[in-house]
A and B are shown apart, each in its own frame.
Chain A
Amino acid sequence: MSQRRFSPRLGSNLRIVSSYAILTLGALAVLFPLYMTIVSSLLTAKQFGDTPPDFFPPTPQWSAYSNAFFSGHMWHYLFNSLQQTVEIVMGASITTVLAAWAFATYSFPFKRILWTIVLSTLLIPFEVTIITNFQTVNSLHLYGTMWALSVPFMVSAFGIFLLRQAFLGIPREMREAATLDGQGSMGFLWRVALPLVRPQLAAFMVISALGAWNSYLWPLLLTTNSTTNRTIQIGLKALNAGTIQGFNVVLAGSVIAAVPMILIMIFFNKQLVRSLTGGALK
């Protein structure tokens, strides 16, 4: 009985019908804009202005995609974004796992105050740090390199928090037993602890990839004047600004930019939900 959320016996048909009505309305609000984007990317300029609008492309024009990919350089930007995302996910995972492990299992001087400092940086949004960060990448001679896009994000206070919690969940006795067996702390981390916290690590990697792929402000700042290192998001902005003529090229660009994360959402749904809602639940 307790498995049931609502007993169908008590539910009226009205309730079921109105539930579906609400959900379908919500789904339309989400899907209709996405659907029209895909349809419109396949229309000619004349068809785009049709009234009634075309809800299905009469003569699909795939040229918008090749224009976006090649004339609009989205193909090039796609690889830039991929590189940026991989660098950030790998870099952030390494620094985050090591720091979380130290905060979870070592005792060292100033641990409490350092932990408070790490957590307090969660309150600082990236937007209020750009002035100096922009100068920092210049003085580190990173400006104009792909590293400038990724290095500042190779750490995550949220990730350290998430993984520290996960590491704390590993029984102390397991660690002590491993120590008696002569296994060092790093060996235990690599062979035992990391496999145990795989769900949390995966959740962190997915949210980290999402943040990297969708990031806008930082790549915008760094690639306004240089086009070689543009990410897909900034490439899309450039298409919007009319670098290549045609509304359909812009829409094709948005489809290209959106697909990778939609695939991640479908394949890593559980990890994504866990990481997005991680802060809300105790």
Chain B
Amino acid sequence: MTRRSVRIRQSVGAYALIAPALTLISVFIIYPFLRNFKLALYAIPPFPGLPSKWLGIHQFTTTVTSDVFLNSLQATLLYTAMVVPLGVFAGLVLAVTAHQKLRGMAIYRVIFSTTAVSSVAVAATIFGTLLNPVNGLLPWFGINVNPPFLQNTTWALPAMAIIGIWEFMGLSFLLFSAGLQSLPEEVMEAALVDGASPVRRFFRVTIPMLSPTIFYAVAVGTIAAMYTFGQMDVLIGTGSTTYTNTDTLAYLIYQSVTVQPNAGVAACISIALFGITSLITFLQFRFLERRVHYVGE
């Protein structure tokens, strides 16, 4: 066999191996993503067979400046601003505290990771019950909110955020635990020998050393939070008085695919949400990563 024919055989073999994966990626990820940019230019009737009407970029500008979109954008950003910092902070504090030679740490670790495996429907149901006005629990704690949390225009979105924080806390904890385990022990010990207080050590040593993990957790958490809509769908829905307070952009996309089918508008919102989230991630890279301290550099 010549060298050339070996190479051709190898290429054919390689393409056969990547074909299934590449086909699925093309059909279900790349094609639908790129097609958004075409759909966004048309008014598409909800029933197939009817002609689509060309609207051009006009549809995009109208959509992203509409009150509905701006309201959802505000809800999404507020939700993200509540979930990410608190979720990252809770995970960080718990991971640093659990990273000690103390009895029972293994049990705490398992407990904290529980929320990372809970589905959004389960988490929403659990908190929906705790916040249920019929439940005797909150009044017993002296918490009486009227109207009740989920029907309250002030409290509905923070309630959604509590669910988000609870869910994100587990992953955040796991990320920081892994980050701590990869740190060189000598640095932590040196700080200890220096006699630095625990609080001082936390801010002066642990946080700078963990900054790559903090950055990663913030980036991952932000993307997940920007696309949240599950608990809103389970607990609030379109008919509620607080719908407009919790109507995130991802929920808006879902609405425009099912409830009021309008593929063109849905595509515009998808592009905008993707663009805004990418911009935030880019800015985080730009301004946060500069402050990240990589061990060994």
Which residues of A does B touch, CB under 8 Å?
2, 4-8, 10, 15-16, 19-20, 22-23, 26-27, 29-31, 33-34, 36-37, 40, 48-53, 94-96, 98-99, 101-103, 106-109, 111, 114, 117-118, 121, 123-125, 127-136, 151-152, 154-155, 157, 160, 185, 210, 213-214, 216-217, 220-221, 224, 233-234, 236-237, 239-241, 247, 250-251, 253-254, 257-258, 261-262, 264-266, 269, 272-273, 276-277, 279-281
Partner of A30, one of B112, B122, B212: B112
Q: Output the least CB separation between B132 and chain A (Å).
A: 7
A127 and B273: CB pair below 8 A? yes
Instruction: Check if B137 is an interface residue, CB within 8 A of chain A.
Output: yes
A118 and B126: CB pair below 8 A? no
Q: A5-B99, A281-B182 are in contact. Are A258 and B188 (CB under 8 A)?
A: no
Other CB < 8 Å A-B pairs besides A127-B253, A135-B263, A272-B113, 15 of them? Answer: A6-B188, A30-B112, A33-B126, A37-B125, A49-B135, A111-B14, A129-B33, A131-B32, A131-B35, A131-B253, A131-B267, A151-B28, A155-B20, A280-B216, A281-B179
Residues of B within 8 A of A135 (CB): 263
CA distance A40 to B125 in the complex (A): 12
CA distance A88 to B193 in the complex (A): 51
Main secondary structure of the interface of A (DSSP, over half): helix
A33 and B127: CB pair below 8 A? yes
Partner of A125, one of B17, B126, B137, B223: B223
Instruction: Check if B234 is an interface residue, CB within 8 A of chain A.
Output: yes
Residues of B within 8 A of A16 (CB): 102
Residues of B within 8 A of A233 (CB): 119-122
Residues 247-261 of chain B, each 1 if its beta carbon lies under 8 Å from chain A, else 0 = 000100110011000
Partner of B117, one of A2, A19, A107, A265: A265
Q: Output the least CB separation between B171 and chain A (Å).
A: 6
Residues of A within 8 A of B188 (CB): 5-6
B32 and A23: CB pair below 8 A? no
A279 and B254: CB pair below 8 A? no
Q: Output the least CB separation between B275 and chain A (Å).
A: 10
B233 and A220: CB pair below 8 A? yes
Residue of A nearest to B237 (CB): A241
Q: Output the least CB separation between B30 and chain A (Å).
A: 6
A217 and B17: CB pair below 8 A? no
A123 and B14: CB pair below 8 A? no
A19 and B21: CB pair below 8 A? no
The segment from B50-58, B64-72, B90-98, B152-160 that touches chain A is B90-98
Residue of A nearest to B294 (CB): A282
Main secondary structure of the interface of B (DSSP, over half): helix
Residues of B within 8 A of A51 (CB): 136, 139-140
Residues 153-185 of chain B, each 1 if its beta carbon lies under 8 Å from chain A, else 0 = 000000000000010011100110111001001
B122 and A273: CB pair below 8 A? no
Instruction: Check if B41 is an interface residue, CB within 8 A of chain A.
Output: no
Instruction: Check if B114 is an interface residue, CB within 8 A of chain A.
Output: yes
B10 and A108: CB pair below 8 A? yes
**Number of residue pairs across A and B with beta carbons under 8 Å?**
301
Instruction: Check if B147 is an interface residue, CB within 8 A of chain A.
Output: no
Residues of A within 8 A of B135 (CB): 40, 48-49, 53, 247
Q: What is the size, in residues, of chain B's interface with A at 8 Å between Cβ atoms?
A: 104
Residues of B within 8 A of A277 (CB): 174-175, 177-178
Partner of B24, one of A20, A128, A154: A154
Partner of B97, one of A7, A22, A123, A155: A22
Partner of A132, one of B36, B166, B230: B36
Partner of B101, one of A5, A10, A29, A52: A5
Q: A130-B254, A258-B118, A280-B216 are in contact. Are A121 and B30 (CB under 8 A)?
A: yes
Can you report 21 A-B residue pairs in the complex whose CB atoms are below 8 A from each other? A26-B94, A33-B130, A33-B166, A40-B135, A48-B136, A50-B136, A121-B30, A129-B29, A132-B36, A135-B263, A155-B20, A157-B29, A210-B117, A214-B118, A233-B120, A236-B125, A265-B110, A266-B110, A277-B174, A280-B213, A281-B182
Q: A36-B129, A157-B25 are in contact. Are A276 and B14 (CB under 8 A)?
A: no
Q: A23-B94, A95-B21, A109-B11 are in contact. Are A131 and B122 (CB under 8 A)?
A: no
Instruction: Check if B116 is an interface residue, CB within 8 A of chain A.
Output: yes
Partner of A103, one of B18, B101, B132, B278: B18
Residues of B within 8 A of A5 (CB): 99-101, 185, 188
CA distance A237 to B235 in the complex (A): 9
B114 and A262: CB pair below 8 A? yes
User: Which residues of B (276-294) have their CB < 8 Å from a CB of A?
Assistant: 277-278
